[in-house]
Amino acid sequence: MAVNKNFVVKNGLEVDTNTLFVDSANNRVAIGTTVPTATLDVRGKILSDSQVESFVGKFVGIVTAGAVGVTTMTTLDAVVTGFSTLGLANATSLNIQTGFSTVQALSSKDLTVSIGATVSKDLNVGAAATVGAALTVTGASKFAEFVRFEKDIAVGGATTVGGALTVTGNAYFNGNVDINGDLTYDEVNARNLNISGISTIGFATIGNATISGITTTSLLNVGFGATMVKVQGTPATRVGINSIGPAFTLDVDGDINATGNLRVNGSVFTAGASLADATALAIALG
Predicted local confidence at residue 31, as pLDDT: 93
CA 172 to chain centre: 17
**pLDDT tens-place string over residues 15-45:** 888 889 999 889 999 999 999 999 999 998 8
Most confidently modeled range among 57-61, 145-149, 274-278: 145-149
Q: Is the pLDDT of residue 286 over 80?
A: no
pLDDT value of residue 165: 81
pLDDT of residue 218: 60
pLDDT tens track for 206-242: 767 777 776 766 666 665 544 566 665 666 677 778 7
CB of 244 closer than 8 Å to CB of 228: yes
| Residue 122: predicted pLDDT | 80
Query: What's the length of the chain?
Result: 286
Q: Give the pLDDT score at 231.
A: 62
The model's pLDDT over 65-117, given as tens digits with 9 standing for 90+, comes to 655 555 566 666 666 666 777 777 777 777 776 667 777 777 777 777 777 77
Mean pLDDT of all residues belonging to the chain: 75
- Is residue 18 within 8 Å of residue 34, measured between CB atoms? yes
- What is the arithmetic mean of pLDDT over 6-21? 82
CA-wise closest residue to 78 among 58, 64, 52, 63 = 58
DSSP conformation letters of 153-187: ----S-----S----SS----SS----SS----S-
Closest-CA residue to 84 (of 68, 111, 61, 113): 61
9 band by pLDDT with thresholds 50, 70 and 90: confident
Q: Is the previous residue joined to 36 through a cis bond, with omega within 30 degrees of 0?
A: no
Q: Which residues have a Cβ under 8 Å from the Cβ of 44 and sit 6 or more positions away?
A: 31, 32
Mean pLDDT of the 146-156 span: 80
Show Cβ contacts of residue 197 under 8 Å, excluding neighbours closer than 6 positions. Answer: 213, 214
204 touches 188 (CB < 8 A) = yes
Number of separate helices (H) and strands (E) present in the chain? 1, 21
The pLDDT value recorded for residue 226 is 47
| 97 vs 115: CA distance, rounded Å | 8
User: Running DSSP on this structure, what letter comes out for residue 69?
Assistant: T
Q: Please tell me whether the overall predicted TM-score, pTM, comes out greater than 0.75 for this model.
A: no
CA distances from 105 to 69, 108, 160 (A): 20, 10, 36
Q: How far is CA 104 from CA 87, 246, 279, in A?
A: 5, 81, 100
